Amino acid sequence: MATDLTPPAEAEVGVGDYQFGFHDPTDKYVFKSRKGLDRDIVSQISEMKSEPDWMRQFRLEALDIFFKKPTPTWGGDLSHLNYQDIFYYVKAAAGQEKNWDDVPADIRKTYDRLGIPEAEKKYLAGVKAQYESEVVYGSLQEDLSRQGVIFTDTDSAMRDHPELFREYFGTVIPPADNKFAALNSAVWSGGSFIYVPKGVKIDFPLQAYFRINSENMGQFERTLIIVDEGASVHYVEGCTAPTYSSESLHSAVVEIIVKRNARCRYTTIQNWSNNVYNLVTKRAMAYGDSLMEWVDGNLGSRLTMKYPAIYLMEPGARGETLSIAFAGKGQHQDAGAKMVHCAPNTYSRIISKSISKAGGRASYRGLAKVVPGAHHCKSNVVCDALILDSNSRSDTYPYIEIDEDDVTIEHEASVSKIGEEQLFYLMSRGLSEAEASAMIVTGFIEPLVKELPMEYAVEMNRLIELQMEGSVG
Amino acid sequence: MNSLLKIDNLHVSVNGKPILKGVNLEVRQGETHALMGPNGSGKSTLAYALMGHPRYEITDGRIEIDGVDLVALEPDARARLGLFLAFQYPVTIPGVKVADFLRHAVSNVRNPDRKEGEGLIPMREFRKELKARMEALGMDVEFARRYLNDGFSGGEKKRMEILQLAMLRPKFAILDETDSGLDSDAVRVVSEGLARLAGPEMAVVIITHHERLLEFNRPQSTHVMLAGRIVENGDATLAHELHDQGYAGVRTRHPAIAAEETVEKTEEALVAKA
């Protein structure tokens, strides 16, 4: 390892600095498309990536769908989003790097600030660090590949595993699903591809780090995870972004297939800078007796619209979503979950927690749907909102569509303000108002945090403390 | 030197309504006081006002510890000066572990100059002390990992208050009906626990309707409140007498103040009906 990898001063900067943003010089790009979106740009992206013709066609068809579909008017305010004022493809460094020392120095420096080498030493079996639109660094523990596990970036998967890739790509979320799925399908780049063969259980989390690092640069990663029968995997994705003055668009698509008796957990903590539109489509198909879990934390962004979905396709399938949203000043978190019961004896649970402060707005938007014939289903939805001051707002939009009689659906919602009595109690024991508020908020999200891998739990609590600084008084 | 808590002509209003109308009381470190009085006489109001609850507005008078005026201070600053209130109805804080909360509280109270974000007291030392204190109070050490008062029974909550008292070692502890809602075994555990903690370093003001707590913690002074004032002072015999005979005698001896009490009750009833 290079000696300059973790200078002490850098290491001490820690998580606290993301909030204020930092970025590397932006003249290190190998390729950058011009701003805007049209057929030429989409063809150029495909050409740059030396893609097969079917993918170029797929992208162009998706582009047509994107242009035809109107921008949604529900959820958050998208009226300031200018699709022609965005770079849709930026390539930072040529090729795939096998090991950390080969990663260009300024990119390494950026990741040092995010603590990635540390994380790798401690936890990582494979790191997929997405810098700009392309994965530039990846390593995969050898025993994983011996077991036939594929963990790579999505572009490489298309090239190296063409049949497997084409069998599943776009099957869970077709381009026509919604406007942003169409956009992603047209311009996608990077993302993770995971295939876990039958019966293989990976007992440590696979992780990826994401980062937007160019003004007006959109990031459109595309993730595809296939967990074959009886297999299991926990995928963890975290991302942060430096702060820029103008708007930035992030629109990812995540497709997951969980086959019979398999398990998949997908954990995300997102802390986009406050100018980012984060419009994500995530969906999983869960087959017989499988378990799919989304753990989803949204702290940053200007607007997040994200409703991870689970389609329970066969009897015995279970789906769980645990989501947390923190909306601070100028932020709108419109987040939630969808559970679609397509088969009898399927089970779902949604736990949603939101915090709003300093004028922020947190909305829960969720769907519990039971199709005809899907009898003996159970669905349980709990949403709790914590509002920290009178300028902030919380809304709940629970949609329930039931076309079957013999089902159990429960929905509970609660909204609370940080209690005067709770604050007084803690302060009477010597805690300052800021310490007491942070403790109450940390306690509120504890059910989510304890589900996170250790480093994320620590990071999450530090982010909350940062968000709480200066929030009182 | 013994510290002194001095309450001088204290007037307190809640939602604009005067509740305390000139309370005077002096408590020295090491003393035990009983504060008694009928419902609505202002005992809990006094406790909350001393600790600095934001809804209890001090309209006149002073609260001092060794000459330092507490009136303008936040509750945490008062705690750091050595004041403690054991709540009648302890609040639940979901997701916050007892041990984490207490380590923070102990760090602040024992090191009053500690700034936010500075180091907490060492984990080993803290754990050892917490374990010993819990065992002395007959508490399962597992409670340290539970969320603060979340799902606790009435008795468990009260014991948790006494545990906090034991860990924070205040100069002045006010116990607001710590014995209410407890069965006799629980009262005994809490009383004995308190008796072991009390000593020359700590003053205890016990607000109670019952005698049990006072059996184990015999007061030097008993104070009787009526309609927002302390109307009588005595020794342990007074507490005993009030317990046996109720407050009829007190009302007879202070007819003018007792009349105020009646007027207020009538007003409250009218408000409740409306």
Q: Count of A–B CB contacts within 8 Å?
A: 86
Which pLDDT belongs to residue A80?
85
In angstroms, rounded to a whole number, what is the distance separating the alpha carbons of residues A141 and A21? 32
The SS3 assignment for B2 reads coil
For A444-456, give one letter per residue: b (16+ CB within 10 A) or e.
bbbbbbebbbebb
Lowest-pLDDT range of A118-132, A346-360, B4-18, B147-161: A118-132
Residues from chain B that touch A429, judged by Cβ atoms under 8 A, are 76, 79, 101-102, 105, 109, 164, 168
Tell me the shortest Cα–Cα distance from A325 to chain B, in angstroms: 17
Tell me the shortest Cα–Cα distance from B246 to chain A, in angstroms: 32
Which band of pLDDT confidence, cut at 50, 70 and 90, is reported for residue B189?
Answer: confident
In angstroms, rounded to a whole number, what is the distance separating the alpha carbons of residues A439 and B103? 12
Q: How many Å separate Cα B212 from the centre of its chain?
A: 17
Which pLDDT belongs to residue B219?
93
Within a 10 A sphere around the Cβ of A55, how many other Cβ atoms? 20
Alpha-carbon distances of B210 from B32, B108, B156, B165, B216, rounded to whole Å: 16, 34, 19, 21, 12
A428 at B interface, C-beta within 8 A: yes
Residues from chain B that touch A355, judged by Cβ atoms under 8 A, are none
Which band of pLDDT confidence, cut at 50, 70 and 90, is reported for residue B67?
Answer: very high
Q: Could you give all domains of chain B from N- to C-terminal order, each with its CATH number?
A: 4-89+169-273 (3.40.50.300)
Residue partners of A124: CB distance under 8 A and separation at least 6: A139, A207
Q: Please answer whether residues A230 and A198 qualify as being in contact, where contact means their C-beta atoms are separated by less than 8 angstroms.
A: yes
A446/B116 CB distance under 8 A? no
A430/B80 CB distance under 8 A? yes
DSSP conformational letter for B169? -
Q: Which of B54, B90, B104 minimises the CB distance to A431?
A: B104
Residues from chain A that touch B51, judged by Cβ atoms under 8 A, are 424, 428
Alpha-carbon distances of B103 from B96, B100, B107, B152, rounded to whole Å: 12, 5, 6, 20
Of A99 and B129, the one with more pLDDT: B129
Which band of pLDDT confidence, cut at 50, 70 and 90, is reported for residue B29?
Answer: very high
Q: Which of B55, B100, B116 minimises the CB distance to A434?
A: B116
> Degrees (nearest 5) of the Cα angle B160, B162, B166?
115
- pTM, to two decimals: 0.76
Q: Please answer whether residues A342 and A370 qualify as being in contact, where contact means their C-beta atoms are separated by less than 8 angstroms.
A: no
Which pLDDT belongs to residue A291?
98
Length of chain B: 274
In angstroms, rounded to a whole number, what is the distance separating the alpha carbons of residues B89 and A100? 57
Residues from chain A that touch B54, judged by Cβ atoms under 8 A, are 420, 424
Residues from chain A that touch B105, judged by Cβ atoms under 8 A, are 426, 429-431
A445 at B interface, C-beta within 8 A: yes
Q: Which of A419, A430, A446 minimises the CB distance to B79?
A: A430
Output the CA torsion sign for A463, B127, B154, B202.
negative
Pairing state of beta strands B147-148 and B93-97? antiparallel
The SS3 assignment for A121 reads helix
- Residue in chain B closest to A447 (alpha carbons) equals B95
The SS3 assignment for A398 reads strand
ipTM: 0.95
Q: Which of B53, B75, B104 minimises the CB distance to A435?
A: B104
Alpha-carbon distances of B18 from B12, B15, B21, B58, B59, rounded to whole Å: 6, 8, 7, 10, 9
Which pLDDT belongs to residue A301?
84
For residues B45-61, average pLDDT:
96
Which pLDDT belongs to residue B244?
87
For residues B184-210, average pLDDT:
88
Q: Which of A420, A430, A439 minimises the CB distance to B96?
A: A439
In angstroms, rounded to a whole number, what is the distance separating the alpha carbons of residues A282 and A192? 13
In angstroms, rounded to a whole number, what is the distance separating the alpha carbons of residues A173 and A176? 8
In angstroms, rounded to a whole number, what is the distance separating the alpha carbons of residues B50 and B67? 15
The DSSP-derived string for B189-236 is HHHHHHHHH-BTTBEEEEE-S-SHHHHHS--SEEEEEETTEEEEEE-H
The SS3 assignment for A89 reads coil
Which pLDDT belongs to residue B223?
96
In angstroms, rounded to a whole number, what is the distance separating the alpha carbons of residues B236 and B234? 7
Which residues of B lie inside 8 Å of A (Cβ-Cβ)? 51-55, 74-76, 78-80, 84-85, 87, 90-91, 93-96, 100-102, 104-106, 108-109, 116, 147, 164, 168
Quick: pLDDT tens for B198-208: 889 999 999 98
Alpha-carbon distances of B80 from A114, B5, B165, rounded to whole Å: 38, 14, 13
Of A275 and B10, the one with more pLDDT: B10
Which pLDDT belongs to residue A17?
35
Average pLDDT across each block of 10 residues of chain A; the chain has 473 residues. List them in order: 34 34 51 82 92 97 96 88 83 50 53 48 37 44 81 89 96 96 94 94 74 49 96 81 56 96 92 84 98 91 94 98 91 95 97 91 94 94 89 90 89 80 95 90 86 74 68 39
Quick: pLDDT tens for B85-121: 999 999 999 999 999 999 999 999 999 888 877 889 9
Q: Please answer whether residues B228 and B42 qualify as being in contact, where contact means their C-beta atoms are separated by less than 8 angstroms.
A: yes
- Best B15, B98, B104 member to test A by mutation, with max A CBs in 10 Å, is B104
Region of B51 please: left (phi>0), alpha (psi -120 to 50) or beta. Answer: alpha
Sheet strands (E) in chain B: 4-14, 17-28, 32-36, 56-65, 68-69, 83-86, 93-97, 147-148, 172-176, 203-207, 221-226, 229-234
Most distant pair of Cα atoms in chain B: their distance: 58
DSSP conformational letter for B155? H
Residues from chain A that touch B78, judged by Cβ atoms under 8 A, are 428
Residue ranges covered by each domain of chain A: 8-306, 420-473
Q: Please answer whether residues A127 and A138 qualify as being in contact, where contact means their C-beta atoms are separated by less than 8 angstroms.
A: yes
Closest CA relative to residue A441, chosen from A356, A363, A352, A350: A356
Sheet strands (E) in A371-406: 377-387, 393-402
For A216-252, give one letter per residue: b (16+ CB within 10 A) or e.
bbbbbbbbbbbbbbbbbbbbbbbbbbbbbeebbbbbb
Backbone angles phi, psi at B38, to 5 degrees: -65, 165
Pairing state of beta strands A377-387 and A347-356? parallel
Residue partners of A430: CB distance under 8 A and separation at least 6: B76, B79, B80, B104, B105, B106, B108, B109, B168
Q: Please answer whether residues A346 and A437 qualify as being in contact, where contact means their C-beta atoms are separated by less than 8 angstroms.
A: no
Tell me the shortest Cα–Cα distance from B273 to chain A, in angstroms: 27
